[in-house]
């Protein structure tokens, strides 16, 4: 693929060159570009002849910011990558840095992380489903799925103290253990969620209008999906059963049984079905985690240069006070080296590439964001479709610009 | 006591010059249509909330109303004050005029939207009373003999306002929206007109006095006997279905609201509009819904007859026999009853509009056109032929 600079002027010049075409800028502020994506389109009537995604409106330089702070201080920034599933980002980042340190967290900590990551997956897919519904005109789907997400947010708040930007993990553990009875409430959520999910999906799955709008729209073939580096439900919708939770298990995913749903045609409808099924599978995983929830430590107790000691110890014991002081000022001490870790996030594969020269601050941190890679296929599949299909397509790709632009 | 006052009022009214009578009637109808449009917007939000399992607007309240013990809270929960606040906001907020628009046409477009919306109301009868000689006299501002033609002719002018708004906005999304509007509205008018023709063929079968008025259709559905009292929705279900589908498309309602589909066209033809000018488009849309539902009620749901096979006169007679209340048969009481029955039917239809809107997704623009030309139009033509042949055979 030839590299093209998407400078707005090029689009204007192209429009001058083809006067029977209309150039239309969809976004960065548009109801269905899900944030600040901008599509510079060239239209022949209502049919797109060209579509250039313009990204970067939400660029904050997260990767550079990471070089100027300790490993733990960067956790809140990971919340703001895929802000619809912060817990999953927290976990991916923490595991990446732990891999650098060669640290293995206890089973209980892994279980907590799995349960939160799966809840984040449900929450993210709910939002994706609702926004997709909204894009094809089904308002009620959005409101019903937000209603379910609200239950999850209450559980997140109870666990982490925040509904949205959770910042839950620390290098070597999590910020706090689960509260009393929290697992029961998660189980209760799962019990009421499955019938509610079926009700929400039943509004769309067999709906003739929805089928007309999505079947065969925005087909991503297997070859294209692989060539453009598409990951997550979008890749599985194209029929490739790549799921890192199965293929390269981390955080104890190998203990849990779940299926990896795949689509057959790779159209918007398949991606919708895959997301629906993934929510059911997430519930299945959460139930298994709750059923055999391990006891023991919830953070790596022996990693004294990485994870802060308990608060009561800090206030009473000299050694722990010094340890905490060093952690806060110098950061968790990492060996020199470089590491790449990728996790199966709701939107796709989120990878962290960390280069360390020792000490508490990364020398370089690169983020491989799934939304960015998933959006890269837009110019290819947007050609020759209608404006309304672009909206369907964007909804079915389910991207987050905070992560794409990072 | 009350009947005498009412009689005196009625006498006073009928002794006024016809022009003043007409103006008063016109004001009365406008005073009804506007609040109904407002109430519809409130109902829209409440129905949406109901479908979506949430309380809906229930906060706004005027201070003194909060002191009324039960009613104040009830009206607050109902969201009545939200409607008032919305209306007030639309009237008083800054009516901005973007610099890039064609000003005169830009201002004229919302007015052009209101003209057909209010004009069509005049020919739609909304009730009836029983005259001294026992005949049913329909209530309408202008009981035209070509009622249905007048409604279709004037309502189809509504498309000009959308085209004008899209063109005058001098902006791309409105332009796309108005192109869609012109294509869609014209396509569905064909099916709509063809769908009601069987009704008029039926009531104007050879040898009868010809009329295209609504009152005649209702009169036809109020006859005694099994076939006489049958509403046209039972006699011509396909016609009713086509009319209903076409009406959804004509009024830009989901699932055919590709013209206003905010997901791809932002605000479509009213993207550049705000404040009161936007409000006029909004009221015009609801007025079209009300008039369209009213026409459906008159043609297919027996107008002001309370039940199938039970005409207004029969019903009034029954209740009078049962209770013995003399005021029931007073023309004014009958008139009010008939209006109430008619309004209830119209409001039920409008509820269905909302119910559909909040339940189903939206068609794509080309699918709407395909449905209109390839499915609905052949069906309407086939339906018309079927009834034409059937009527010829019966006669």
Residue A143 has its nearest CB partner, among B54, B258, B266, at: B54
**Which of B52, B172, B364 is opposite residue A388, by nearest beta carbon?**
B364
What is d(CA A26, CA B83) in angstroms, rounded to the nearest whole number? 32
Query: pLDDT, tens digit, for every residue of B146-171?
Result: 778 888 888 888 888 888 888 888 88
Tens digit of each residue's pLDDT (9 = 90 or more) over B177-192: 888 888 888 888 888 8
Model confidence, pTM? 0.86
Please state which of the four CATH numbers 1.10.3720.10, 1.20.210.10, 2.40.50.100, 1.10.645.10 is assigned to the domain occupying A62-405. 1.10.645.10
If you measure CA to CA, which chain B residue comes closest to A46?
B176
Rounded to the nearest angstrom, the minimum Cα separation between B80 and chain A is 23
Q: Are the CB atoms for A133 and A160 separated by under 8 Å?
A: no
* Pair B49, B78: CB distance under 8 Å: no
pLDDT at A96: 92
Residue A95 has what pLDDT?
92
∠A307-A313-A317 over CA atoms, to 5°?
A: 115
- What value does the mean pLDDT take over residues A67-87? 90
The tokens of B144 are what?
Answer: 């035209």
Residues whose CB falls within 8 Å of the CB of residue A361, separated by 6 or more in sequence, listed in order: A67, A68, A69, A70, A71, A331
Cβ–Cβ contacts within 10 Å for residue B319, how many? 15
Q: What angle do CA A273, A277, A217 make, to 5 degrees?
A: 10
Q: Which residues of A touch B265 (CB under 8 A)?
A: 387
Interval B102-110 mean pLDDT: 88
Closest Cβ–Cβ partner in A136, A203, A204 for B362: A136
Residues of A in contact with B264 (CB under 8 A): 32, 387-388, 390-391
Tokens of B308: 């199938």
- Looking at A109-123, A312-326, B31-45, B183-197, which range is the least confident one? B31-45
Whether the CB of A388 is below 8 Å from some CB of chain B: the reply is: yes
B344-348: average pLDDT: 89
Nearest to B51 among A140, A210, A389 (CB): A140
- On whether any CB of chain A is under 8 Å from the CB of B89, the answer is no
ipTM of the shown complex: 0.82
Mean pLDDT (chain A) is 87
Q: Are A279 and A197 in contact (CB under 8 A)?
A: yes
Q: How far is B359 from chain A (nearest CA, A)?
A: 6
Q: Does the beta-carbon distance from B176 to A210 stay under 8 Å?
A: no
Domain boundaries, chain A: 62-405
Task: Tell me the backbone φ, ψ of residue A357, rounded to 5 degrees.
Answer: -110, 25
| Structure-token match 């993934």, residue found | A278
- When pLDDT is cut at 50, 70 and 90, the band that residue B242 belongs to is very high
Q: Two tokens at B378?
A: 């052949």
Query: What pLDDT score does B207 carry?
Result: 64
* B393 membership: H or E segment, kind and range: helix B377-394
Distance from CA of A138 to the nearest CA of B (A): 4
Of the candidate ranges B31-45, B61-75, B136-150, the one whose mean pLDDT is the lowest: B136-150
The answer, for A192 touching chain B at a CB cutoff of 8 Å, is no
Q: Give me the DSSP letters along A286-335.
A: HHHHHHT---S-SB-TT-TTTSPPPHHHHHH-HHHHHHHHHHHHH-S-EE
Tell the burial category of A202 from Cβ atoms under 10 Å away from its Cβ (0-12, 13-18, 19+).
exposed
Question: Quick check: B365 and A388 CB within 8 A?
Answer: yes
Among B172, B362, B364, beta carbon nearest to A24: B172
Contact A137 B265 (CB under 8 A): no
Strands (E), chain B: 127-130, 136-139
Contact between chains at B261 and A388 (C-beta distance less than 8 A): yes
Q: Between these two residues, B225 and A42, which has the higher pLDDT value?
A: A42
Partners of residue A38 on adjacent β-strands: A54
Dig out the tokens for B66 from the structure: 């909060």
Per-residue pLDDT, averaged over A369-383, amounts to 88
pLDDT in tens, A154-163: 999 999 988 8
pLDDT band at B280 (very low <50, low <70, confident <90, very high): confident
Residues 167-206 of B with CB under 8 A from A: 172-173, 176
pLDDT confidence bin for A9, thresholds 50/70/90: low
């Amino acid at each position: 693929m030839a590299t093209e600079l998407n400078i707005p002027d090029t689009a204007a010049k192209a429009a001058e060159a083809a006067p029977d075409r209309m150039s239309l800028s969809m976004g960065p502020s548009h109801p269905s570009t899900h944030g600040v994506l901008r599509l510079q389109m060239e239209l022949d009537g209502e049919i797109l002849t060209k579509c250039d995604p313009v990204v970067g409106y939400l660029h904050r330089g997260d990767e550079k910011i990471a070089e100027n702070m300790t490993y733990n201080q960067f956790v809140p920034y990971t919340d703001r990558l895929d802000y619809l599933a912060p817990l999953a980002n927290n976990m991916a980042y923490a595991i990446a840095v732990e891999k650098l340190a060669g640290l293995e967290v206890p089973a209980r900590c892994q279980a907590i992380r799995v349960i939160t990551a799966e809840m984040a997956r449900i929450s993210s897919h709910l939002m994706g489903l609702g926004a997709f519904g909204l894009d094809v005109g089904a308002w009620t789907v959005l409101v019903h799925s937000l209603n379910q997400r609200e239950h999850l947010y209450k559980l997140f708040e109870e666990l982490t103290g925040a509904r949205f930007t959770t910042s839950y993990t620390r290098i070597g553990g999590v910020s706090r253990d689960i509260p009393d009875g929290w697992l029961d409430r998660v189980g209760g959520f799962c019990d009421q969620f499955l019938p509610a999910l079926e009700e929400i999906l039943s509004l769309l799955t067999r709906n003739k209008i929805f089928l007309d709008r999505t079947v065969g729209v925005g087909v991503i073939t297997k070859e294209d999906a692989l060539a453009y580096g598409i990951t997550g439900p979008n890749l599985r919708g194209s029929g490739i059963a790549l799921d890192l939770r199965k293929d390269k298990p981390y955080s104890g995913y190998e203990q849990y049984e779940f299926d990896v749903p795949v689509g057959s045609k790779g159209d918007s409808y398949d991606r919708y079905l895959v997301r629906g099924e993934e929510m059911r599978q997430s519930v299945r995983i959460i139930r298994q985690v709750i059923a055999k929830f391990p006891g023991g430590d919830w953070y790596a107790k022996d990693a004294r240069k990485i994870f802060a000691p308990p608060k009561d110890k800090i206030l009473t014991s000299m050694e722990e006070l010094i340890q905490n002081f060093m952690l806060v000022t110098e950061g968790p001490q990492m060996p020199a080296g470089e590491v790449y870790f990728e996790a199966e996030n709701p939107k796709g594969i989120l990878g962290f590439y960390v280069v360390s020269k020792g000490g508490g601050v990364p020398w370089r941190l690169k983020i491989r964001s799934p939304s960015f890679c998933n959006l890269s296929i837009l110019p290819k599949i947007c050609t020759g479709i209608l404006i309304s299909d672009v909206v369907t397509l964007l909804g079915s790709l389910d991207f987050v610009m905070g992560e794409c632009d990072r | 006591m009350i009947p005498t006052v009412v009689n005196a009022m009625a006498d006073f009214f009928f002794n006024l010059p016809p022009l003043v009578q007409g103006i008063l009637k016109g004001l009365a109808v406008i005073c009804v249509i506007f609040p109904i449009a407002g109430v519809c917007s409130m109902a829209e939000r409440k129905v949406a909330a109901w479908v979506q399992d949430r309380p809906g607007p229930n906060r706004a309240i005027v201070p003194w109303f909060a002191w009324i013990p039960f009613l104040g809270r009830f009206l607050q929960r109902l969201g009545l004050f939200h409607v008032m606040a919305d209306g007030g906001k639309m009237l008083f907020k800054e009516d901005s005029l973007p610099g890039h628009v064609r000003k005169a046409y830009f201002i004229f477009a919302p007015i052009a939207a209101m003209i057909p919306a209010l004009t069509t109301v005049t020919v739609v009868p909304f009730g009836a009373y029983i005259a001294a000689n026992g005949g049913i006299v329909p209530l309408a501002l202008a009981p035209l003999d070509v009622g249905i033609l007048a409604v279709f002719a004037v309502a189809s002018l509504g498309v000009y306002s959308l085209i004008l708004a899209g063109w005058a906005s001098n902006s791309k999304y409105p332009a796309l929206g108005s192109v869609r509007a012109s294509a869609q509205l014209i396509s569905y008018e064909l099916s709509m007109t063809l769908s009601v023709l069987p009704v008029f063929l039926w009531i104007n079968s050879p040898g009868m006095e010809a009329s295209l008025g609504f009152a005649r259709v209702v009169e036809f559905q109020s006859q005694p006997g099994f076939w006489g009292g049958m509403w046209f929705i039972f006699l011509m279900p396909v016609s009713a279905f086509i009319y209903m589908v076409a009406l959804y498309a004509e009024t830009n309602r989901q699932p055919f609201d590709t013209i206003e589909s905010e997901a791809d066209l932002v605000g479509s033809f009213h993207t550049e509009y705000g404040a009161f000018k936007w409000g006029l488009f909004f009221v015009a849309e609801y007025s079209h819904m009300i008039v369209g539902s009213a026409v459906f009620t008159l043609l297919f749901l027996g107008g002001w007859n309370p039940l199938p096979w039970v005409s207004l006169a029969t019903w009034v007679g029954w209740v009078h026999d049962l209770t013995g209340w003399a005021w029931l048969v007073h023309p004014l009481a009958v008139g009010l009853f008939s209006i109430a029955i008619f309004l209830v039917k119209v409001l039920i239809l409008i509820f269905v509009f909302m119910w559909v809107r909040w339940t189903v997704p939206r068609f794509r623009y080309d699918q709407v056109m395909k449905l209109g030309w390839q499915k609905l139009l052949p069906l309407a033509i086939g339906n018309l032929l079927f009834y034409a042949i059937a009527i010829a055979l019966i006669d």
